[in-house]
């Protein structure tokens, strides 16, 4: 294992960097898209609710790999050439946004309806009430589940290995076939993934206990 | 247009269905295995047996926080180094079962923890031993609470079987890739077929989970719902 780190340290670090970069980009956009659809699910307009529901159900019930491969195979063929990293990140963003939307929606709905009624009665518009009263409270509820979604996102970013995204998993495969030591290579890769996910996972469990 | 429709010729459909059969086979087998082992491991983690529970908890935390693809690679390329060489189907069943057992174990632990302590105390006070109380009083209630979370875990299991194409499991995803690899005109029809087939399976499972949630939710206190919701959020994929 130590020899793998010595000989392929550079590759492993680049992979770790790419995984982290992809996860952060995907998290950023998935949070925005997810929150938009979560809010759309709670507005009074029926059409908006249906659109949000369809979006969430579609991207939640199709495997991440199918979405990613779609952007890797179909989009370059018919629309525009994009790199493996980009297609992986787009796929990951869309897939995660559906899960984040579900999480945020459950957060919004766990806020007492009286809060919305109260702020409407006090003269705020629906959007003002949403922005200043409901969302700040909802986000406090959803921080632990959102953290868990982020852990999933980091793990799911390994799908980049399918589309030549040069992430940690991809580098791991390259190193495994180069060094012929697949057992210790995958142990190294696993260790690096754990460095990313395990502290976060324990922190989220601590937060859950604190909030419960 | 006709060339595109050719994608759905009987030969291709049959080939896709063969792939779907492998997906179903791997999914069902790993669902059964992970349900059994998940409950066993979750109970072990909960009951605090000296050393054993700590070790099991540690292993659960480690495996839950690794990507499934890594575990697939590990079983398929790593295990032969220690003298056990599974074929792609069994390698994916082993990998999925191990990974999902850990997920289910975590749900089970959260589910048992959500049962009020009074249940256990009452059962003990009525003369049941610790294990009897766990087996006949606590666990049945916990499992009833956990069913929606477990079903949504199994939905991600079905989706995650597609990842096993990376170790050349001849599943739905892999067969679709073979078809559009031979004729690039078939790419979009194949992705459509993939999306529809996975969607139908996973969506009907999620309807089932919602139905169960509603049926079970009726006679539950708020606290249980919250715990189950947490477990659903914690339950994850890949």
What distance in Å separates the CA atoms of residue B125 and residue B119, rounded to the nearest whole number?
10
Q: Cβ–Cβ of B238/A148 closer than 8 Å?
A: no
Question: Which pLDDT value is given to residue A212?
Answer: 65
Tell me the CATH number at B107.
1.10.3720.10
Map residue A63 onto helix, strand or coil.
coil
The total domain count for chain B is 1
d(Cα B41, Cα B29) in Å, to the nearest integer? 18
Q: B100 — contact with chain A (CB < 8 Å)?
A: no
Full DSSP string of A71-115: IIIIHHHHT----HHHHHHHHHHHHHHHHHHHHHHHHHHHS-HHH
Q: Do B202 and A61 touch (CB under 8 A)?
A: yes
pLDDT at residue A184 is higher than 60: yes
Q: What is the pLDDT of residue B71?
A: 93
> Which chain A residue has its CA at the smallest distance from B238's CA?
A156
pLDDT at B84: 84
Per residue in B161-209, pLDDT (tens digit) is: 999 998 888 999 999 999 988 888 888 889 999 999 999 999 998 888 8
Chain A residue with minimum CA distance to B229: A106
Label residue A141 by pLDDT band (50, 70, 90): confident
Q: Flag whether residue A56 sits within 8 Å of chain B, measured between CB atoms.
A: no
DSSP A62: S
pLDDT at A154: 92
What pLDDT score was predicted for residue B224? 47
User: Which residues on chain B are in Cβ contact (under 8 Å) with A74?
Assistant: 187-188, 191
Min distance A51 CA to chain B CA atoms (Å): 17
- How far apart are alpha carbons B57 and A32 in whole angstroms? 35
* Cβ pair B67:A158 closer than 8 A: yes
pLDDT at site B218: 52
Identify the pLDDT of residue B229. Answer: 54
- Report the C-alpha gap between B52 and B47 in whole angstroms: 10
Domain that residue B111 falls in: 2-234
Picking from B74, B162, B234, the nearest residue to A66 by CB comes out as B162
Q: Is B181 on the interface with A (CB under 8 A)?
A: no
Q: Which of A187, A182, A94, A104 is nearest to A146 (CA)?
A: A104
Confidence label for B223 from pLDDT (cuts 50, 70 and 90) = very low
* pLDDT of A194 over the 50 cut: yes
> Beta-carbon neighbour count of residue B182 at 10 Å?
9
Place B217 in a pLDDT band, splitting at 50, 70 and 90: low
Domains of chain A, earliest start first = 18-168 (1.10.3720.10)
Closest in A58, A64, A73 to B199, CB measured: A58
Nearest to B195 among A66, A77, A189 (CB): A66
B32 C-beta neighbours (distance < 10 Å), count: 11
What pLDDT band is residue B2 in, cutting at 50, 70 and 90?
Answer: low
The mean pLDDT value of chain B amounts to: 85
Contact with chain B for residue A106, Cβ under 8 A: yes
Share of chain A above pLDDT 70, in %: 100
The predicted pLDDT at position B221 comes to 45
Ranges A106-110, A189-193, B218-222: which has the least confidence: B218-222
Q: How far apart (Å, rounded) are the C-alpha atoms in residues A189 and A19?
A: 12
What is the ipTM, given to two decimal places?
0.87
Residue A56: predicted pLDDT: 93
Is the pLDDT at B19 greater than 70, yes or no? yes
Tell me which chain B residue has its CA closest to the CA of residue A56.
B203
For residue B47, the model assigns a pLDDT of 86
Q: Which member of B66, B155, B236 has the closest CB to residue A190? A: B66
CA-to-CA distance for A16 and A11, rounded, in angstroms? 9
* Cβ–Cβ below 8 Å for B236 and A64: no
DSSP string across chain B? -HHHHGGG-HHHHHHHHHHHHHHHHHHHHHHHHHHHHHHHHHHHHHHT-TTHHHHHHHHHHHHHTS-HHHHHHIIIIIGGGGT----HHHHHHHHHHHHHHHHHHHHHHHHHHTS-HHHHHHHHHTT--HHHHIIIIIHHHHHHHHHHHHHHHHHHHHHHGGGGGGGT--SHHHHHHHHHHH-GGGHHHHHHHHHHHHHHHHHHHHHHHHHHHHHHHTT--HHHHHHHHHHHHH----
Q: Read off the pLDDT band of A98 (50, 70, 90).
A: very high
> What's residue A6's pLDDT?
79
- Please tell me which of the candidates B61, B191, B233 has its beta carbon nearest to residue A198: B61
Mutation target for A interface from B59, B67, B197, B231: give the one with most A CBs within 10 A: B67
Q: Residue B81 and residue A182: Cβ atoms within 8 Å?
A: yes
Q: Which residues of B touch A176 (CB under 8 A)?
A: 73, 77
Give the integer Cα–Cα distance in Å for B205 and B99.
Answer: 20
pLDDT at B41: 93
Beta carbons of B203 and A61 less than 8 Å apart: yes
Q: How confident is the model at residue B236 (pLDDT cuts 50, 70, 90)?
A: very low
Q: Which helix (H) or strand (E) segment is A71 a member of? A: none
What confidence tens digit (pLDDT) does each residue in B42-64 have?
999 988 888 899 999 999 999 99
Running DSSP on this structure, what letter comes out for residue A180? S
Q: Are B78 and A58 a contacting pair at CB < 8 A?
A: no
The number of beta carbons lying within 10 Å of the beta carbon of residue A209 is 9
């Amino acid at each position: 294992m130590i020899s793998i780190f010595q000989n392929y340290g550079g590759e492993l670090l680049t992979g770790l960097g790419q995984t982290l970069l992809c996860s952060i980009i995907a998290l950023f956009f998935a949070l925005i898209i997810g929150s938009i659809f979560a809010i759309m699910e709670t507005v009074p307009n029926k059409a908006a609710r249906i659109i949000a529901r369809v979006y969430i159900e579609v991207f939640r019930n199709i495997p991440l790999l199918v979405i990613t491969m779609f952007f890797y195979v179909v989009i370059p063929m018919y629309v525009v050439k994009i790199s493996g990293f980009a297609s992986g990140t787009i796929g990951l963003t869309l897939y995660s946004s559906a899960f984040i939307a579900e999480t945020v929606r459950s957060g919004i709905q766990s806020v007492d309806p009286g809060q919305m009624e109260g702020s409407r009665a006090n003269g705020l518009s629906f959007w003002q009430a949403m922005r200043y009263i409901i969302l700040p409270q909802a986000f406090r509820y959803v921080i632990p589940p959102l953290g868990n979604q982020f852990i999933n996102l980091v793990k799911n970013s390994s799908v980049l290995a399918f589309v030549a995204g040069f992430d940690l998993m991809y580098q791991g495969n390259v190193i495994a076939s180069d060094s012929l030591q697949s057992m210790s290579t995958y142990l190294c890769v696993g260790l690096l993934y754990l460095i990313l996910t395990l502290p976060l996972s324990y922190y989220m469990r601590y937060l859950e206990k604190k909030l419960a | 247009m006709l060339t595109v429709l050719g994608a759905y010729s009987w030969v291709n459909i049959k080939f896709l269905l063969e792939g779907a059969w492998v997906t179903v086979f791997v999914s069902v087998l790993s669902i059964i295995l992970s349900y059994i082992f998940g409950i066993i491991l979750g109970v072990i983690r909960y009951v605090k047996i000296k050393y054993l529970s700590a070790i099991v908890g540690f292993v659960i935390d480690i495996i839950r926080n690794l990507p499934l693809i890594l575990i697939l690679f590990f079983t398929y390329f790593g295990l032969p180094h220690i003298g056990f060489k599974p074929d792609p189907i069994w390698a994916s069943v082993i990998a999925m079962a191990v990974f999902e057992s850990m997920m289910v174990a975590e749900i089970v632990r959260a589910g048992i923890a959500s049962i009020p302590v009074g249940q256990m105390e009452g059962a003990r006070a009525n003369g049941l031993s610790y294990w009897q109380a766990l087996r006949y009083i606590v666990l049945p209630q916990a499992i009833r609470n956990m069913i929606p979370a477990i079903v949504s875990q199994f939905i991600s299991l079905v989706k995650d079987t597609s990842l096993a194409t990376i170790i050349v499991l001849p599943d739905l995803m892999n067969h679709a890739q073979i078809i559009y690899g031979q004729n690039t005109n078939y790419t979009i029809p194949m992705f459509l077929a993939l999306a529809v087939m996975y969607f139908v399976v996973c969506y009907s499972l999620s309807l089932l989970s919602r139905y169960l949630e509603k049926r079970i939710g009726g006679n539950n206190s708020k606290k249980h719902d919250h715990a189950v919701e947490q477990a659903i959020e914690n339950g994850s994929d890949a």
